[in-house]
Structure 1
Amino acid sequence: MARLVPAVLRAADILELFLGDDVTLSASEIGSRLELPRSTTHELLTTLVERHYLVRRSGEETTYRLGPKLLELGARYQQRLEFTAEADAVARQVAAECRETVHVAVLDGLEVVYVSKVDSTHSVRLISEVGRRLPAHCTAVGKVLLAGLSEEELSARLKGHRLVALTENSITSRTALRQQLAKVRETGVAHERSESNPDAGCVAAPVVDATGEWMAAMSISIPTSRHSDEAWPRWEKLVREGAAELTRRLGGRPATP
């Protein structure tokens, strides 16, 4: 088991004191309740105030209350809950239309993390799960999210990183990857044919937040046994519409090629 950091634990203990009925607490009250030395209490409180987790109020006795940084974190957590719920709802709609597996994913470094999944209704379906990670360059959702990065950010993330192959069709050349990403920016949609799974392909489109950032991507994943030139345009249309609907629900403006 990894070692826990005492200073972090004490800082968390201080913040959690405010989960009770007290809106404000003095340094002496905090130190007494947590049985902390006066100097340690002072250092922890000074640090929490400096980082805006607490606000110091001067008066007859200096007191502390929760600061705005906690509100920011709470709001971000709430947004994540709302995002997941909306992603699930829209993914179900798209899956009902195409009867294929629908995913929503976000980017973490150079990996994608799947945050929503609705299974295909066909007897032959893909095996995947929420929370799974894959190299972004091998997936349609990953290509969308990499395409949404600035050139500077993309270069920084790729620096010193080898593009691993998951199948014989995976991209391993940075030049080839950049060419595909340029096409994604131009068309607003990405394709992947047996690059992460030899038995499947995907088409994906960006989910855009209120700031215009490509914050997530939605994909339709299809076993190669059901691939056809006639079906791809329909899947592309459906994933564009689904990503646009999720974008609108999150207060963003859908991407336009």
Structure 2
Amino acid sequence: MTYIDTVARALCLLKLLAISPLRVQEAAEKLGIHKSSASRLLSTMRDHNFVRLNSNGKYELGYAVFEMAHALSEGMDVRKIGRPFLEQLNKTSNETVHLAVLDGIEIVYLDKIDTSRPIRMYSRIGKRAHVYCTGVGKALLAYLPDEKIDQILAQIKMKSFTARTIVDREHMMNEIREIRVNGIAWDRGEHEDDIYCMAAPVFDFTNKVIASISISATITYTPEEELAKYAGLLSQTAEAFSRAMGYVGDWPPPVRL
């Protein structure tokens, strides 16, 4: 076994252990190597804290993996990584695009690129907005566990900003279920009368939703049916952004209930 082979098998083993703990024989079978070779590989990885033995006599991921994951998470700047994706989305659509994150029961705009058209929008970098009446907010909300959604909505007194604002909890939950099916959230003039927005979630390497991106337009220039034509592009961009953040699951992502 060459050094390259050993490294490749060690990396493969880490991926296998991320799915489920394994005994030495099980690891050997999955890697297609002799039990003694698997034992030596696991022993070396254990010496460096990449794996550890649990109480059932199976190997599982060790603390070194979590230390590396934490370091990666700390070093990943979602705004910096997301900027090229926003720029391409803005260039292709010539509409205003946003990047937002959830902070408590509100969303915060981390980045924004304006359309070249003379449009004024409520949003600006650093500004907060309600989670229930914005596209970016609903995209974030939809991919939280149900228990977390209940906690957030319980803290919010939903009020109307326009005649279209959703203020009924059952209506909101129906919309969340729809978002989970197609991966796209809509704000149809719910926060600002003339502003329509569609948004998609962004996930990280832990497969958790961490942000959302959106395309916003005024119906004066862009009717809803025209804006809807960018839904595929928005979804593809959100997926590419998520992959850049380390997400490895299916798209649209399954929901953690």
Q: TM-score, normalised by structure 2?
A: 0.67
2:111 alignment partner in structure 1? 116
Do the aligned partners of 2:109 and 2:123 also contact (CA within 8 Å) in 1? Answer: no
RMSD, matched Cα: 2.3
Moved segments of 4+, more than 4 Å: 70-77
1:78 aligns with 2:55: no
1:178 aligns with 2:176: no
1:50 alignment partner in structure 2? none
Q: How many corresponding residue pairs?
A: 187
Residues 85-129 of structure 1: per-residue CA shift (max 9 Å, x gap): 111121011000000000011111221111111111223353531
Give the one of 216, 220, 240 matched to 2:215. 220
Do the aligned partners of 2:202 and 2:210 also contact (CA within 8 Å) in 1? Answer: yes
Q: Which runs of 5+ in 1 are unaligned?
A: 1-69
2:149 alignment partner in structure 1? 154
- Opposite residue 78 of structure 1, the aligned amino acid is G
2:129 alignment partner in structure 1? 134
* TM-aligned CA distance change 1:207 to 1:179, over 3 Å: same
SS at match of 1:129: coil
Do the aligned partners of 1:125 and 1:223 also contact (CA within 8 Å) in 2? Answer: no
C-alpha deviation, 1:238, in angstroms: 1.9
- Opposite residue 147 of structure 2, the aligned amino acid is E
2:251 alignment partner in structure 1? 255
Percent identical pairs in the alignment equals 30
- Opposite residue 116 of structure 2, the aligned amino acid is T
* TM-aligned CA distance change 1:165 to 1:157, over 3 Å: same
Q: TM-score, normalised by structure 1?
A: 0.67
Q: Which runs of 5+ in 2 are unaligned?
A: 1-66
Do the aligned partners of 2:97 and 2:112 also contact (CA within 8 Å) in 1? Answer: yes
Q: Which moved more, 1:119-128 or 1:151-160?
A: 119-128
C-alpha deviation, 1:241, in angstroms: 1.7
Aligned ranges 1:1-257 → 2 under 5 Å: 76-79=73-76, 81=77, 83-126=78-121, 128-253=123-248, 255-256=251-252
* TM-aligned CA distance change 1:176 to 1:216, over 3 Å: same
C-alpha deviation, 1:227, in angstroms: 3.1
SS at match of 1:191: strand
Do the aligned partners of 2:161 and 2:191 also contact (CA within 8 Å) in 1? Answer: yes
SS at match of 1:225: coil
SS at match of 1:237: helix
- Opposite residue 151 of structure 2, the aligned amino acid is A
* TM-aligned CA distance change 1:178 to 1:75, over 3 Å: same
Alpha-carbon separation, structure 2, partners of 1:97 and 1:160: 38
Do the aligned partners of 2:96 and 2:112 also contact (CA within 8 Å) in 1? Answer: yes
* TM-aligned CA distance change 1:216 to 1:151, over 3 Å: same
